[in-house]
Structure 1
């Protein structure tokens, strides 16, 4: 948890909560941030990657769980689930009640049950049953492998200590470290918008109804599907050139991340990228005009001839 930003009171700000430059709303979950978590396969509490660990989720069912469990909450590490159970007011006390507008007054179940799953099989936008017209991100989990339950948080302190002792820091590449750092800061003027944009560029833009998600209208109508096409079908050189030319730190990092994870994308992101294969033609990045650079298909040739680049210098002007 040391990498997490803290609010003015010194409390760690977990990955899914809404935040702005001036304040953090611990009672509000950001769909924008959930989208980034799903795309990069990060934990909803600590905002770090899962690796081979189980994905833990609060479950409401009693008895044996079905083979497929769907939840509107993003999954977490086991140690993060145990941490949340001790610090979240709603999970901590059997007498607690929710205070948000949609579920105000809802009392916590007498027994809280967490289940650990082998994989997040799919992530999709779904219209909320509590708020018609509002779409939220839902996570489909499969392969239950473990679980724990409790009435009072004190019952799980020993398990928390054991999980904490087993924790090992996973190696993180330089480009993913940039994305994690940007995602967890508080001073970006929004709810992790820079990394949400990077998630859309990595392939989340191809997910069905994704721009219907609460809070994503600000991204609709922009060039994210086009940029995602570059990161989906561009060559390695085109992707690297696109990232190098970007003025946005998150976009500069997401290109190398896509190349680094090729063939090993998180399941949800791979599904979105597969859907995108039939939605875009081969991508080609728009780069600044100049010697040795390719230019947009219908742009004027940088040689100054006045002709279109594809007619005059289709291969670009050699450097020098």
Structure 2
């Protein structure tokens, strides 16, 4: 029996008792460990969370399975990064990672055998995240993560070769610190109910600035967010005043939206690199004018229409005074 890292004990378990890792598709009806959810990867990228435990990296290295040999100043992967202890745990319980004879079984990679030697590299930072057209499915985009600063690594043929390293990682495991607002987002993100029409924390990631990432709405599974007003609200969280952001958070009526405003304010000047890159791109897409009319009932949106903030509630109930200016170019 492989010991569960302390930072994974908050995860829900499936019917067999396995922890439900952060990236996999889930619903109240069940969990699909063979399906990686691109919407959830977007939230991981925006908030700088581990793809296994769904908790922050902080000062820890970002670990990624790689296939190249030699030193790697940079690496690009379609997989989101993980903590070292989470990588070591996964290497011992994931069928594809622990067995040198494992084969992938999805329809696009059926029969692919695991490399004889599995190599994980720890990088100092995730420097960029971008939407890239899948080489397996034409027209479908997936998120790719670029890492910089090769700082450490381990490799193995069979999982018993890393047992000693795993024991050391468990002994040295540190508690991860995060604010009350981030704690709300983490709790919502790691529940089994993903919120129905798309993940609620993915919506929060969009308004934090991910809505400005190039081709982001082309990502697989982003149809639930297409055509809604996430860029408009992202504009408010990009160029709005602190009081406007707090007012939006208090009146959003959505728990994730209520938490992301305070998170943006407390992280100002210290955003994860990919999110900062997206927000910088948004600077050229968003107009800010004191004379601009706010969106809302009595302004440009009827009171019974969906609120422009994207909450799904009627505008008259969600933001009766309107949302302050901060909207993207058409």
Q: TM-score, normalised by structure 1?
A: 0.88
Aligned to 1:248: 254
Q: Say which is worse superposed, 279-288 or 42-51, in terms of deviation.
A: 279-288
Aligned runs of 1:54-203 on 2, under 5 Å? 54-65=61-72, 67-190=73-196, 193-203=199-209
Instruction: Tell me, in whole angstroms, the C-alpha distance in 2 between the residues paired with 1:199 and 1:26.
Output: 23
Secondary structure at 1:47's aligned position in 2?
A: coil
Report deviation, 1:241.
0.2
Aligned runs of 1:21-36 on 2, under 5 Å? 21-36=28-43
Aligned to 2:20: 13
Aligned to 2:54: 47
Aligned to 1:292: none
Instruction: Tell me, in whole angstroms, the C-alpha distance in 2 between the residues paired with 1:188 and 1:146.
Output: 34
Structure 2 unmatched runs, 5+: 1-7, 304-320, 325-330
Instruction: Tell me, in whole angstroms, the C-alpha distance in 2 between the residues paired with 1:170 and 1:194.
Output: 23
Q: TM-score, normalised by structure 2?
A: 0.86
Q: Is the 1:242–1:287 contact (alpha carbons within 8 Å) kept by the matching residues of 2?
A: no
Which protein has the larger Cα radius of gyration, Structure 1 or Structure 2? 1
Instruction: Tell me, in whole angstroms, the C-alpha distance in 2 between the residues paired with 1:223 and 1:191.
Output: 15
- C-alpha root-mean-square deviation of aligned residues, in Å? 2.1
Instruction: Tell me, in whole angstroms, the C-alpha distance in 2 between the residues paired with 1:192 and 1:170.
Output: 27
> Out of 260, 273, 280, which is 1:267 matched to?
273
The 3 A distance-change label for structure 1 pair 191 and 296 is closer
Structure 1 unmatched runs, 5+: 290-294, 301-312
Report deviation, 1:187.
2.1
Instruction: Tell me, in whole angstroms, the C-alpha distance in 2 between the residues paired with 1:46 and 1:192.
Output: 20
The 3 A distance-change label for structure 1 pair 36 and 63 is same
Instruction: Tell me, in whole angstroms, the C-alpha distance in 2 between the residues paired with 1:20 and 1:298.
Output: 33
* CA-to-aligned-CA distance 1:77-105 (integer Å, 9 cap, x gap): 00011011001100010000001122111
Q: Is the 1:14–1:46 contact (alpha carbons within 8 Å) kept by the matching residues of 2?
A: yes
Aligned length: 296
